Protein backbone atom coordinates (compact mmCIF):
# COMPACT_ATOMS: atom_id res chain seq x y z
CA UNK A 1 0.00 0.00 0.00
CA UNK A 2 1.31 3.45 -0.89
CA UNK A 3 1.06 6.07 1.80
CA UNK A 4 0.75 9.55 0.40
CA UNK A 5 2.36 12.44 2.26
CA UNK A 6 -0.22 15.09 3.15
CA UNK A 7 0.00 18.27 1.12
CA UNK A 8 1.07 20.51 4.03
CA UNK A 9 4.03 18.21 4.72
CA UNK A 10 5.13 18.40 1.10
CA UNK A 11 4.88 22.18 1.26
CA UNK A 12 6.97 22.30 4.42
CA UNK A 13 9.56 19.99 2.89
CA UNK A 14 9.73 22.07 -0.29
CA UNK A 15 10.22 25.26 1.74
CA UNK A 16 12.96 23.62 3.77
CA UNK A 17 14.77 22.47 0.64
CA UNK A 18 14.43 25.91 -0.90
CA UNK A 19 15.89 27.58 2.21
CA UNK A 20 18.76 25.07 2.36
CA UNK A 21 19.60 25.65 -1.30
CA UNK A 22 19.60 29.42 -0.81
CA UNK A 23 21.83 29.17 2.25
CA UNK A 24 24.29 26.94 0.39
CA UNK A 25 24.70 29.67 -2.17
CA UNK A 26 25.52 32.10 0.65
CA UNK A 27 27.67 29.74 2.76
CA UNK A 28 28.82 27.03 0.34
CA UNK A 29 30.58 24.77 2.85
CA UNK A 30 28.56 25.46 6.00
CA UNK A 31 24.99 24.15 5.73
CA UNK A 32 23.78 21.13 7.70
CA UNK A 33 20.35 19.66 6.99
CA UNK A 34 20.56 15.87 7.48
CA UNK A 35 18.80 14.55 10.57
CA UNK A 36 21.81 12.71 12.03
CA UNK A 37 24.13 15.74 11.92
CA UNK A 38 21.40 18.03 13.24
CA UNK A 39 21.26 15.95 16.45
CA UNK A 40 24.38 17.75 17.65
CA UNK A 41 22.35 20.97 17.82
CA UNK A 42 19.08 19.71 19.33
CA UNK A 43 19.68 21.31 22.74
CA UNK A 44 22.15 23.39 24.71
CA UNK A 45 23.33 22.94 28.30
CA UNK A 46 19.69 23.13 29.40
CA UNK A 47 18.91 19.55 28.36
CA UNK A 48 15.38 19.16 29.65
CA UNK A 49 13.98 19.92 26.19
CA UNK A 50 15.22 18.84 22.78
CA UNK A 51 14.23 19.86 19.28
CA UNK A 52 15.92 19.34 15.92
CA UNK A 53 16.51 22.62 14.10
CA UNK A 54 15.23 22.93 10.55
CA UNK A 55 18.70 23.79 9.20
CA UNK A 56 22.04 24.77 10.72
CA UNK A 57 24.32 27.19 8.93
CA UNK A 58 27.93 27.80 9.99
CA UNK A 59 29.18 31.10 8.54
CA UNK A 60 32.80 32.14 8.91
CA UNK A 61 32.71 35.83 8.05
CA UNK A 62 30.65 38.85 9.03
CA UNK A 63 29.62 39.22 5.39
CA UNK A 64 28.19 35.70 5.41
CA UNK A 65 26.28 36.33 8.64
CA UNK A 66 24.86 39.52 7.12
CA UNK A 67 23.86 37.69 3.93
CA UNK A 68 22.13 34.89 5.87
CA UNK A 69 20.21 37.33 8.09
CA UNK A 70 19.23 39.45 5.10
CA UNK A 71 17.85 36.38 3.33
CA UNK A 72 15.96 35.21 6.45
CA UNK A 73 14.51 38.68 6.97
CA UNK A 74 13.34 38.98 3.38
CA UNK A 75 11.73 35.52 3.41
CA UNK A 76 10.28 35.60 6.93
CA UNK A 77 12.51 32.80 8.22
CA UNK A 78 13.07 32.67 11.96
CA UNK A 79 16.62 32.51 13.31
CA UNK A 80 18.20 31.01 16.45
CA UNK A 81 21.82 32.07 17.17
CA UNK A 82 24.14 29.58 18.90
CA UNK A 83 27.56 29.95 20.47
CA UNK A 84 29.24 26.99 22.18
CA UNK A 85 25.91 25.55 23.34
CA UNK A 86 26.74 25.81 27.05
CA UNK A 87 23.71 27.95 27.93
CA UNK A 88 21.93 26.66 31.04
CA UNK A 89 18.61 28.41 30.36
CA UNK A 90 17.73 27.08 26.91
CA UNK A 91 18.89 30.25 25.15
CA UNK A 92 20.02 28.25 22.11
CA UNK A 93 17.11 25.77 22.07
CA UNK A 94 16.28 25.24 18.37
CA UNK A 95 12.93 25.65 16.64
CA UNK A 96 11.66 23.16 14.07
CA UNK A 97 10.94 25.94 11.57
CA UNK A 98 14.01 28.11 12.23
CA UNK A 99 17.51 28.37 10.86
CA UNK A 100 20.15 27.98 13.53
CA UNK A 101 23.25 30.13 12.98
CA UNK A 102 26.25 28.55 14.71
CA UNK A 103 29.20 30.83 15.40
CA UNK A 104 31.83 28.17 16.10
CA UNK A 105 33.95 29.14 13.08
CA UNK A 106 34.47 32.64 14.46
CA UNK A 107 37.32 31.39 16.62
CA UNK A 108 40.23 33.80 16.19
CA UNK A 109 41.87 36.37 18.43
CA UNK A 110 42.13 39.22 15.92
CA UNK A 111 44.42 41.66 17.73
CA UNK A 112 45.92 42.44 21.12
CA UNK A 113 47.00 45.87 22.31
CA UNK A 114 48.90 45.56 25.59
CA UNK A 115 49.49 49.30 25.88
CA UNK A 116 45.75 49.98 25.77
CA UNK A 117 44.86 46.78 27.63
CA UNK A 118 42.40 45.45 25.05
CA UNK A 119 41.92 42.47 22.76
CA UNK A 120 39.66 42.14 19.73
CA UNK A 121 38.26 38.63 19.42
CA UNK A 122 35.67 36.73 17.43
CA UNK A 123 32.63 35.42 19.31
CA UNK A 124 33.57 31.74 18.97
CA UNK A 125 36.78 32.18 20.98
CA UNK A 126 36.43 30.42 24.31
CA UNK A 127 36.56 32.44 27.50
CA UNK A 128 39.72 30.81 28.79
CA UNK A 129 41.45 31.15 25.41
CA UNK A 130 41.51 34.93 25.83
CA UNK A 131 43.54 34.62 29.01
CA UNK A 132 45.79 31.97 27.43
CA UNK A 133 46.50 34.38 24.55
CA UNK A 134 47.76 37.15 26.85
CA UNK A 135 49.03 35.50 30.05
CA UNK A 136 52.65 35.33 28.84
CA UNK A 137 52.69 39.12 28.99
CA UNK A 138 51.15 39.18 32.48
CA UNK A 139 47.54 39.94 31.48
CA UNK A 140 44.23 38.12 31.79
CA UNK A 141 40.51 38.43 31.04
CA UNK A 142 38.60 38.77 34.31
CA UNK A 143 35.13 37.17 33.86
CA UNK A 144 35.58 33.43 34.49
CA UNK A 145 32.41 31.30 34.36
CA UNK A 146 32.80 27.74 35.60
CA UNK A 147 32.42 26.61 31.99
CA UNK A 148 35.20 28.95 30.83
CA UNK A 149 37.15 26.13 29.18
CA UNK A 150 34.22 25.61 26.78
CA UNK A 151 31.90 28.62 26.77
CA UNK A 152 32.43 31.23 24.06
CA UNK A 153 32.90 34.96 24.44
CA UNK A 154 29.90 35.50 22.15
CA UNK A 155 27.74 33.42 24.47
CA UNK A 156 29.14 35.35 27.45
CA UNK A 157 28.00 38.57 25.76
CA UNK A 158 24.56 37.13 25.04
CA UNK A 159 23.97 36.06 28.65
CA UNK A 160 26.14 38.67 30.44
CA UNK A 161 28.11 35.85 32.07
CA UNK A 162 29.96 36.33 35.33
CA UNK A 163 32.10 33.88 37.27
CA UNK A 164 33.83 33.51 40.59
CA UNK A 165 35.78 36.77 40.21
CA UNK A 166 32.89 38.99 39.14
CA UNK A 167 32.46 40.37 42.68
CA UNK A 168 35.52 42.62 42.29
CA UNK A 169 35.98 42.77 38.52
CA UNK A 170 32.44 42.77 37.22
CA UNK A 171 30.37 40.77 34.77
CA UNK A 172 30.84 40.61 31.01
CA UNK A 173 29.13 43.97 30.60
CA UNK A 174 31.86 45.59 32.72
CA UNK A 175 34.63 44.05 30.61
CA UNK A 176 33.36 44.53 27.04
CA UNK A 177 34.20 47.82 25.34
CA UNK A 178 32.65 47.31 21.91
CA UNK A 179 30.96 44.88 19.54
CA UNK A 180 30.31 44.47 15.86
CA UNK A 181 26.66 43.51 15.48
CA UNK A 182 24.68 42.27 12.49
CA UNK A 183 21.01 43.26 12.58
CA UNK A 184 18.23 41.06 11.19
CA UNK A 185 18.16 43.34 8.11
CA UNK A 186 21.76 42.40 7.34
CA UNK A 187 23.01 45.83 8.38
CA UNK A 188 26.41 45.73 10.12
CA UNK A 189 26.85 48.20 12.98
CA UNK A 190 29.50 48.92 15.60
CA UNK A 191 28.59 49.75 19.16
CA UNK A 192 31.20 51.09 21.56
CA UNK A 193 34.84 50.77 20.58
CA UNK A 194 38.26 50.80 22.23
CA UNK A 195 37.31 53.26 24.96
CA UNK A 196 35.34 53.03 28.18
CA UNK A 197 32.41 55.28 27.31
CA UNK A 198 30.50 56.18 24.13
CA UNK A 199 28.27 59.12 23.42
CA UNK A 200 24.52 58.76 23.05
CA UNK A 201 22.30 55.93 24.20
CA UNK A 202 24.03 52.96 25.76
CA UNK A 203 23.14 50.46 23.04
CA UNK A 204 26.19 48.38 23.92
CA UNK A 205 24.73 47.92 27.40
CA UNK A 206 21.46 46.86 25.78
CA UNK A 207 23.11 44.26 23.55
CA UNK A 208 25.18 42.65 26.33
CA UNK A 209 22.74 40.27 27.98
CA UNK A 210 20.15 40.46 25.17
CA UNK A 211 20.16 36.66 24.64
CA UNK A 212 20.29 36.76 20.84
CA UNK A 213 17.03 38.71 20.55
CA UNK A 214 18.50 41.85 18.98
CA UNK A 215 21.22 40.77 16.54
CA UNK A 216 24.24 38.53 16.10
CA UNK A 217 27.60 39.67 17.45
CA UNK A 218 30.52 38.97 15.10
CA UNK A 219 33.38 40.78 16.86
CA UNK A 220 34.05 41.80 20.45
CA UNK A 221 36.55 44.20 22.02
CA UNK A 222 37.34 43.12 25.57
CA UNK A 223 39.23 44.75 28.41
CA UNK A 224 42.42 43.07 29.63
CA UNK A 225 43.76 43.41 33.16
CA UNK A 226 47.32 43.07 34.44
CA UNK A 227 47.78 40.00 36.61
CA UNK A 228 47.84 41.11 40.28
CA UNK A 229 51.12 40.88 42.17
CA UNK A 230 49.77 38.18 44.45
CA UNK A 231 46.53 36.29 45.03
CA UNK A 232 45.72 34.45 48.24
CA UNK A 233 42.73 32.24 49.01
CA UNK A 234 41.21 31.30 52.35
CA UNK A 235 39.29 28.04 52.72
CA UNK A 236 36.92 28.46 55.64
CA UNK A 237 34.55 25.82 57.05
CA UNK A 238 31.48 26.46 59.20
CA UNK A 239 29.27 24.21 61.29
CA UNK A 240 26.14 25.94 59.96
CA UNK A 241 25.19 27.79 56.80
CA UNK A 242 23.88 30.79 58.74
CA UNK A 243 27.32 31.56 60.25
CA UNK A 244 28.94 31.28 56.81
CA UNK A 245 26.37 33.67 55.35
CA UNK A 246 26.93 36.11 58.21
CA UNK A 247 30.68 35.95 57.59
CA UNK A 248 30.05 36.98 53.96
CA UNK A 249 27.99 39.95 55.09
CA UNK A 250 30.58 40.96 57.69
CA UNK A 251 33.46 40.88 55.18
CA UNK A 252 31.60 43.25 52.85
CA UNK A 253 30.48 45.44 55.75
CA UNK A 254 34.15 45.83 56.74
CA UNK A 255 34.80 47.47 53.38
CA UNK A 256 36.70 44.47 51.98
CA UNK A 257 35.93 43.55 48.36
CA UNK A 258 37.51 40.16 47.70
CA UNK A 259 38.38 39.08 44.16
CA UNK A 260 35.97 36.22 44.77
CA UNK A 261 33.83 34.88 47.59
CA UNK A 262 32.13 31.54 46.96
CA UNK A 263 30.13 29.16 49.12
CA UNK A 264 29.19 25.48 48.93
CA UNK A 265 26.90 23.51 51.22
CA UNK A 266 27.67 20.02 52.49
CA UNK A 267 26.23 17.98 49.58
CA UNK A 268 28.22 20.10 47.13
CA UNK A 269 31.38 19.87 49.27
CA UNK A 270 31.23 16.08 49.36
CA UNK A 271 30.57 15.80 45.62
CA UNK A 272 33.41 18.19 44.76
CA UNK A 273 35.92 16.51 47.06
CA UNK A 274 35.12 13.07 45.68
CA UNK A 275 35.68 14.48 42.19
CA UNK A 276 38.93 16.45 42.63
CA UNK A 277 40.44 15.27 45.97
CA UNK A 278 41.89 18.62 47.06
CA UNK A 279 41.42 18.25 50.80
CA UNK A 280 38.08 19.95 51.46
CA UNK A 281 36.86 19.38 55.05
CA UNK A 282 33.97 16.92 55.00
CA UNK A 283 32.67 17.58 58.51
CA UNK A 284 31.41 21.12 57.82
CA UNK A 285 27.97 22.26 56.70
CA UNK A 286 29.25 25.18 54.60
CA UNK A 287 32.55 25.99 52.95
CA UNK A 288 33.59 29.52 52.06
CA UNK A 289 36.38 30.37 49.62
CA UNK A 290 37.58 33.96 49.90
CA UNK A 291 40.24 35.20 47.50
CA UNK A 292 42.16 38.44 47.96
CA UNK A 293 44.48 39.88 45.35
CA UNK A 294 46.66 42.93 44.78
CA UNK A 295 49.97 44.12 46.26
CA UNK A 296 51.61 41.71 48.69
CA UNK A 297 51.26 43.97 51.75
CA UNK A 298 47.57 44.58 51.04
CA UNK A 299 46.84 40.86 50.70
CA UNK A 300 48.67 40.13 53.93
CA UNK A 301 46.63 42.73 55.81
CA UNK A 302 43.26 41.78 54.29
CA UNK A 303 43.92 38.09 54.80
CA UNK A 304 44.38 38.74 58.52
CA UNK A 305 41.19 40.85 58.55
CA UNK A 306 39.11 38.13 56.87
CA UNK A 307 40.55 35.47 59.17
CA UNK A 308 39.54 37.51 62.22
CA UNK A 309 36.01 37.98 60.85
CA UNK A 310 35.75 34.25 60.19
CA UNK A 311 36.90 33.43 63.73
CA UNK A 312 34.28 35.81 65.16
CA UNK A 313 31.69 33.88 63.14
CA UNK A 314 32.80 30.60 64.76
CA UNK A 315 34.64 29.12 61.77
CA UNK A 316 35.40 25.48 62.53
CA UNK A 317 38.30 25.21 60.07
CA UNK A 318 40.47 27.70 58.21
CA UNK A 319 43.34 27.32 55.75
CA UNK A 320 45.23 30.05 53.93
CA UNK A 321 46.88 29.16 50.62
CA UNK A 322 50.68 29.13 50.89
CA UNK A 323 51.41 28.79 47.19
CA UNK A 324 49.82 29.36 43.79
CA UNK A 325 49.31 25.60 43.43
CA UNK A 326 47.40 25.47 46.71
CA UNK A 327 45.28 28.48 45.75
CA UNK A 328 44.32 26.78 42.47
CA UNK A 329 43.54 23.58 44.39
CA UNK A 330 41.11 25.48 46.63
CA UNK A 331 39.31 26.67 43.51
CA UNK A 332 39.46 23.34 41.68
CA UNK A 333 36.55 21.85 43.59
CA UNK A 334 34.38 24.94 43.22
CA UNK A 335 35.11 25.18 39.49
CA UNK A 336 34.27 21.50 39.07
CA UNK A 337 31.15 21.51 41.26
CA UNK A 338 28.72 21.10 38.38
CA UNK A 339 30.37 18.03 36.81
CA UNK A 340 31.03 16.71 40.32
CA UNK A 341 27.31 16.69 41.08
CA UNK A 342 26.74 15.18 37.64
CA UNK A 343 28.72 12.11 38.75
CA UNK A 344 26.35 11.39 41.63
CA UNK A 345 23.04 12.37 40.01
CA UNK A 346 21.20 10.89 37.02
CA UNK A 347 20.10 14.44 36.09
CA UNK A 348 20.17 17.89 37.63
CA UNK A 349 18.95 21.41 36.99
CA UNK A 350 21.40 24.22 37.66
CA UNK A 351 19.27 27.14 38.81
CA UNK A 352 20.33 30.78 38.74
CA UNK A 353 18.81 33.56 40.83
CA UNK A 354 20.22 36.51 42.73
CA UNK A 355 19.26 37.87 46.13
CA UNK A 356 20.51 40.55 48.56
CA UNK A 357 23.40 39.12 50.60
CA UNK A 358 21.59 39.75 53.86
CA UNK A 359 18.80 37.37 52.78
CA UNK A 360 21.15 34.41 52.21
CA UNK A 361 20.31 32.56 55.46
CA UNK A 362 16.56 32.95 54.90
CA UNK A 363 16.58 31.87 51.24
CA UNK A 364 18.91 28.93 51.84
CA UNK A 365 16.62 27.78 54.66
CA UNK A 366 13.63 28.07 52.30
CA UNK A 367 15.45 26.06 49.62
CA UNK A 368 15.97 23.28 52.16
CA UNK A 369 12.28 23.37 53.09
CA UNK A 370 11.26 23.30 49.43
CA UNK A 371 13.52 20.30 48.82
CA UNK A 372 11.61 18.39 51.50
CA UNK A 373 8.30 19.61 50.12
CA UNK A 374 9.10 18.44 46.57
CA UNK A 375 10.86 15.26 47.66
CA UNK A 376 14.08 16.05 45.78
CA UNK A 377 17.69 16.58 46.84
CA UNK A 378 19.55 19.82 46.23
CA UNK A 379 23.20 20.90 46.41
CA UNK A 380 23.96 24.60 46.73
CA UNK A 381 26.92 26.26 45.02
CA UNK A 382 26.92 30.01 44.64
CA UNK A 383 28.66 33.35 44.30
CA UNK A 384 28.12 34.37 47.91
CA UNK A 385 29.72 37.80 47.51
CA UNK A 386 27.03 39.08 45.17
CA UNK A 387 24.18 36.78 46.21
CA UNK A 388 24.05 34.83 42.94
CA UNK A 389 22.66 31.38 43.84
CA UNK A 390 23.16 28.18 41.84
CA UNK A 391 21.07 25.46 43.51
CA UNK A 392 21.58 22.11 41.76
CA UNK A 393 18.28 20.24 41.84
CA UNK A 394 18.90 16.48 41.62
CA UNK A 395 16.30 14.31 39.87
CA UNK A 396 15.95 11.30 37.59
CA UNK A 397 14.32 12.04 34.24
CA UNK A 398 13.61 8.33 33.73
CA UNK A 399 11.37 8.30 36.82
CA UNK A 400 7.79 9.40 36.02
CA UNK A 401 6.99 12.83 37.43
CA UNK A 402 10.55 13.71 38.47
CA UNK A 403 11.14 16.23 35.69
CA UNK A 404 7.90 18.07 36.43
CA UNK A 405 8.70 18.12 40.16
CA UNK A 406 12.21 19.42 39.50
CA UNK A 407 10.87 22.19 37.27
CA UNK A 408 8.31 23.26 39.87
CA UNK A 409 10.95 23.12 42.60
CA UNK A 410 13.14 25.40 40.49
CA UNK A 411 10.27 27.78 39.87
CA UNK A 412 9.58 27.96 43.60
CA UNK A 413 13.24 28.80 44.27
CA UNK A 414 13.12 31.65 41.76
CA UNK A 415 9.87 32.95 43.24
CA UNK A 416 11.62 33.00 46.63
CA UNK A 417 14.51 34.97 45.12
CA UNK A 418 12.16 37.64 43.78
CA UNK A 419 10.16 37.73 47.02
CA UNK A 420 13.43 38.30 48.91
CA UNK A 421 14.14 41.40 46.83
CA UNK A 422 16.25 39.64 44.21
CA UNK A 423 15.98 38.85 40.51
CA UNK A 424 15.28 35.84 38.30
CA UNK A 425 18.79 35.54 36.89
CA UNK A 426 22.30 36.60 37.72
CA UNK A 427 24.23 35.31 34.72
CA UNK A 428 22.49 32.39 32.98
CA UNK A 429 19.80 34.46 31.32
CA UNK A 430 16.06 33.88 31.01
CA UNK A 431 15.90 31.76 27.85
CA UNK A 432 13.02 29.29 28.01
CA UNK A 433 13.76 28.15 31.57
CA UNK A 434 12.56 31.34 33.26
CA UNK A 435 10.43 32.78 30.46
CA UNK A 436 7.07 32.01 32.06
CA UNK A 437 8.26 33.48 35.38
CA UNK A 438 8.92 36.92 33.93
CA UNK A 439 5.52 38.23 35.17
CA UNK A 440 6.62 37.34 38.72
CA UNK A 441 9.24 40.07 38.45
CA UNK A 442 7.86 42.43 35.79
CA UNK A 443 4.48 44.06 35.24
CA UNK A 444 2.73 44.06 31.87
CA UNK A 445 3.95 47.64 31.39
CA UNK A 446 7.55 46.56 32.08
CA UNK A 447 7.33 43.68 29.61
CA UNK A 448 5.77 45.89 26.94
CA UNK A 449 8.61 48.36 27.31
CA UNK A 450 11.16 45.58 26.88
CA UNK A 451 9.34 44.31 23.80
CA UNK A 452 9.32 47.79 22.29
CA UNK A 453 13.10 47.71 22.46
CA UNK A 454 13.18 44.31 20.75
CA UNK A 455 10.89 45.67 18.03
CA UNK A 456 13.36 48.49 17.38
CA UNK A 457 15.98 45.93 16.42
CA UNK A 458 13.77 43.10 15.14
CA UNK A 459 10.42 44.45 13.90
CA UNK A 460 9.15 41.11 12.57
CA UNK A 461 10.21 39.16 15.68
CA UNK A 462 12.41 36.71 13.77
CA UNK A 463 15.41 36.59 16.14
CA UNK A 464 15.36 33.83 18.77
CA UNK A 465 11.57 33.75 19.16
CA UNK A 466 10.12 31.89 22.12
CA UNK A 467 12.86 33.07 24.46
CA UNK A 468 12.63 35.56 27.38
CA UNK A 469 9.08 36.86 26.75
CA UNK A 470 6.16 34.71 27.94
CA UNK A 471 3.95 36.24 25.25
CA UNK A 472 5.19 38.26 22.29
CA UNK A 473 2.95 41.04 21.04
CA UNK A 474 3.09 42.32 17.49
CA UNK A 475 5.27 45.37 17.15
CA UNK A 476 2.43 47.33 15.54
CA UNK A 477 0.49 47.00 18.80
CA UNK A 478 3.37 48.42 20.82
CA UNK A 479 4.49 51.36 18.68
CA UNK A 480 7.66 50.97 16.64
CA UNK A 481 11.18 52.21 17.19
CA UNK A 482 13.89 51.54 14.64
CA UNK A 483 17.66 51.15 14.92
CA UNK A 484 19.61 52.36 11.91
CA UNK A 485 23.37 52.70 11.70
CA UNK A 486 23.63 51.64 15.32
CA UNK A 487 21.62 54.67 16.42
CA UNK A 488 18.23 54.83 18.11
CA UNK A 489 17.24 58.51 17.62
CA UNK A 490 15.42 60.22 20.45
CA UNK A 491 12.61 61.51 18.14
CA UNK A 492 11.80 57.88 17.30
CA UNK A 493 11.23 56.91 20.91
CA UNK A 494 7.55 56.12 21.49
CA UNK A 495 5.52 58.62 23.50
CA UNK A 496 3.38 57.35 26.36
Question: pTM of the entire structure?
Answer: 0.91
When pLDDT is cut at 50, 70 and 90, the band that residue 481 belongs to is: low
* 315 and 260 within one domain: yes
Q: Tell whether 460 is covered by a domain.
A: yes
CATH number for 193: 3.30.465.10
Q: How is the chain split among helix, strand and coil, in percent rounded to 5? A: 40, 20, 40
Q: Tell whether 1 is covered by a domain.
A: no
* 429 and 455 within one domain: no
Domain end, chosen from 66, 83, 102, is at 102
* 190 and 156 within one domain: yes
Domain end, chosen from 102, 131, 160, is at 102
Domain end, chosen from 86, 102, 118, is at 102
Q: Tell whether 275 is covered by a domain.
A: yes
When pLDDT is cut at 50, 70 and 90, the band that residue 330 belongs to is: very high
DSSP 359: G
Residue 6 has pLDDT above 70, yes or no: no
Q: Tell whether 279 is covered by a domain.
A: yes
Q: Report, as an integer, the average pLDDT of 423-429.
A: 95
**178-230, pLDDT tens digit by residue?**
999 999 999 999 999 887 776 778 899 999 999 999 999 999 999 999 999 99
Chain-centre distance for alpha carbon 196: 23
Residue 484 has pLDDT above 60, yes or no: no
Residue 405 has pLDDT above 80, yes or no: yes
Chain-centre distance for alpha carbon 442: 20
Q: Tell whether 178 is covered by a domain.
A: yes
* 260 and 219 within one domain: no
How many domains does the chain fold into? 5
pLDDT reported for residue 49:
87
Q: Tell whether 11 is covered by a domain.
A: yes
Q: How far apart are CA 261 and CA 239, in angstroms?
A: 18
What's the mean pLDDT when you consider all of the chain? 92
pLDDT reported for residue 487:
54
* 84 and 37 within one domain: yes
* 445 and 431 within one domain: no
The pairs formed by 368-373 with CB atoms below 8 angstroms and a separation of 24 or more are 370/409, 370/412, 370/413, 370/416, 371/409
pLDDT reported for residue 139:
98
When pLDDT is cut at 50, 70 and 90, the band that residue 477 belongs to is: confident
CATH number for 303: 3.30.70.2190
Q: Which domain holds residue 243?
A: 230-337
Count of residues making up the chain? 496
Q: Tell whether 472 is covered by a domain.
A: yes
**254-275, pLDDT tens digit by residue?**
999 999 999 999 999 999 999 9
Q: How far apart are CA 50 and CA 373, in angstroms?
A: 28
* 203 and 284 within one domain: no
* 210 and 128 within one domain: yes
* 21 and 62 within one domain: yes
Dump the DSSP string for 73-132.
HHHT-EEEEESSS--SSSTT---TTEEEEE-TT---EEEEETTTTEEEE-TTSBHHHHHH
* 370 and 424 within one domain: yes
* 445 and 423 within one domain: no
pLDDT reported for residue 435:
96
Q: Tell whether 2 is covered by a domain.
A: no
* 211 and 235 within one domain: no
CATH number for 29: 3.30.43.10
**9-27, pLDDT tens digit by residue?**
788 889 999 999 999 999 9
Amino acid sequence: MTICMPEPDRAVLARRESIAAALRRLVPDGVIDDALSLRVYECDGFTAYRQLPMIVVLPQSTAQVAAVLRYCNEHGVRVVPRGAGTSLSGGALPLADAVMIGMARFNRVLSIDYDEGIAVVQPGVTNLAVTHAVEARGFYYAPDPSSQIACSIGGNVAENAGGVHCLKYGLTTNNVLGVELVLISGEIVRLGGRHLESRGLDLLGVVVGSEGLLGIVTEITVKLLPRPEVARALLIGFACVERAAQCVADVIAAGIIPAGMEMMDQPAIHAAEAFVNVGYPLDVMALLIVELDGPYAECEHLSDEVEAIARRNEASSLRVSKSEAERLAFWAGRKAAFPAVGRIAPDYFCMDGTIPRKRLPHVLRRISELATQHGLAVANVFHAGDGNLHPLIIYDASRPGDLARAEEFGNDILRECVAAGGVLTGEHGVGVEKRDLMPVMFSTIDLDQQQRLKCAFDPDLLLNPGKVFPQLRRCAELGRMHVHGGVLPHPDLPRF
